[in-house]
Amino acid sequence: MGCHRFHQSRKRGGAMASIFVLLLPIFFASIFTPLSHSSPAILSESNLPKPRHSRLFKGALQRESSFEQLSELWMPLPDQGWNTCKDFGMASRLPETSEGYIQVFLDGGLNQQRMGICDAVAVAKILNATLVIPYLEVNPVWQDSSTFVEIFDVDHFISILNDDIRVVTELPDEYSWSTREYYATAIRATRIKNAPVHASAHWYLDNVLPVLQSYGIAAISPFSHRLDFDNMPMEIQRLRCKVNFQALVFVPHIRALGDSLVSRLRYSPGRSEMVRDNYLREVSDARDDLAAGKFVVLHLRFDKDMAAHSACDFGGGKAEKLALAKYRQVIWQGRVLNSQFTDEELRSQGRCPLTPEEIGLVLAALGFDNSTRLYLASHKVYGGEARISTLRSLFPLMEDKKSLASSEERAKIKGKASLLAAVDYYVGLHSDIFVSASPGNMHNAMAGHRTYINMKTIRPNMALLGPLFLNKNLTWPEFQRAVIEGHKNRQGYIRLRKGQQSIYTYPAPDCMCQA
């Protein structure tokens, strides 16, 4: 059913919902201060986190991967019978006039905002509205003020969607008053604040369209996850796919830096190559050829915000536990359900994010050896180098943006969390294998995008790994066998989307076509 039929069936009655309250106090932003790599307040030199799985770590250092194991690990995914569609279908013809302007204000990190942008385009289509380039809220954790045009190629975005919706980079003068500051000072009739999570298309027609028709503009905030994944016309679903996989591309300098990093990972020795002779054993030419020019991207989401919210113990001692508990109480005020459970209970249920040490052990068990080129996609790691050192000792050829790019190349993205994340996303998308240490928006977005292009993505089996790491008597061979067996079907094979699941994580069948 096309979007124009929605307009024929909409309910025209009903009063507009009253809207708005003031924004949360600004002082909360000061709480989310980024933690430096050294983290001196939490992890002093006398209290560095020690390996928590010494028995497994020793076994991993002595690991040997067979030719067959490496061959299977690096082998690309086979053709699975689903491909990218040649096009996303004919867009319904745009009406001659628009119902008005739609503004959306998107919070969260880069990947959550990316999904919000896709949904905003879909809502604009449903309402026959003109979309104003989405406003990206200042990230409260990293205080990043990057705008849409600083991250995404806006001209490409508008061009790709030219036949689907109208897009403008700014409002005309008559609506110039409709700003973020305007909505922060009082309740405004043009702001929709009560959009439910996973709202239907009909909800927007019943509640937002009347505002558009009365005022010529409607501002929706909050907007994250405000459009349903089910019961949508195929036209709307395909449009969301088109935005995500075609319209949203990074600005040229991000793509150029990403291409340079990918090229260096594939063909050039990085700074870590200087340690090769100290770490690598002799291997045959045939084994070398298996991984020649290949690299893995590891997304290590291990920041203070995540560590505190998980309520798990990460081995940093009493000082770390007290600091995380205080942070958790200030930010979430007792609303973190995990804090009601012990660390052992959380780990046995697979609810604790993997530490750098733990994901390193998993990668080693899967067969990645100390000649593996590993790119670390992470903004800042809670605990800094002290936490990463065990992972680095397992994978001495580990690189990141700082080790691969010059200071001049990094100048345009320095201090900009969203631009740093964009570079990591680009490199991750072009890697041979992508692994995420913990579920989250980056994992979901990357898993979906790589499924779309049939690239290998390893999803750690958290329910399996939690109990394995709790077993202090487990030997390395036992651990390795369990990890290999538990991840045979978690390497990027297509899983069709089920009800309420995101099309951005599970693009088949909505975004893909069968061969």
Q: What is the pLDDT of residue 91?
A: 64
**Three-state helix/strand/coil letters over 267-327:** HCCCHHHHHHHHHCCCCCHHHHHHHCCCCEEEECCCCHHHHHHHCCCCCCHHHHHHHHHHH
Q: What angle do the packed helices 356-366 and 462-470 form, to 10 degrees?
A: 110
Residues 283 and 241 in one domain: no
Specify which residues 367 forms β-bridges with: none
* Domain end among 352, 387, 421: 352
Burial of 41 (0-12, 13-18, 19+ CB in 10 A): exposed
Residues 313 and 394 in one domain: no
36 is a domain residue: no
Residues 297 and 222 in one domain: no
Domain of residue 335 covers: 303-352
Residues 410 and 269 in one domain: yes
Residues 205, 10: Cα–Cα separation, whole Å: 6
Q: Where are the beta strands (DSSP E) in 73-216?
A: 82-84, 101-106, 130-132, 135-136, 166-168, 191-192
Task: Give the number of other Cβ atoms within 10 Å of residue 378's Cβ.
Answer: 20
Q: What is the pLDDT of residue 34?
A: 38
86 is a domain residue: no
33 is a domain residue: no
Q: What is the pLDDT of residue 38?
A: 36
Q: What is the pLDDT of residue 386?
A: 87
Cis, peptide link before residue 222, omega less than 30° from 0:
yes
Q: What is the pLDDT of residue 348?
A: 92
Residues 188, 172: Cα–Cα separation, whole Å: 19
Number of domains into which the chain is organized? 3
61 is a domain residue: no
Residues 262 and 166 in one domain: no
- To the nearest whole percent, how much of the chain has pLDDT over 70? 86
CA-based angle 145:150:155, to the nearest 5? 145
Task: Give the model confidence (pLDDT) of 385-408 as tens digits.
Answer: 889 999 999 999 999 999 999 999
Q: What is the pLDDT of residue 285?
A: 54
Residues 320 and 183 in one domain: no
Residues in the chain: 515
Q: What is the pLDDT of residue 177?
A: 98
Residues 346 and 241 in one domain: no
340 is a domain residue: yes
Sites in the chain below the pLDDT cut of 50: 1-46, 271-284
260 is a domain residue: yes
Q: What is the pLDDT of residue 90?
A: 60
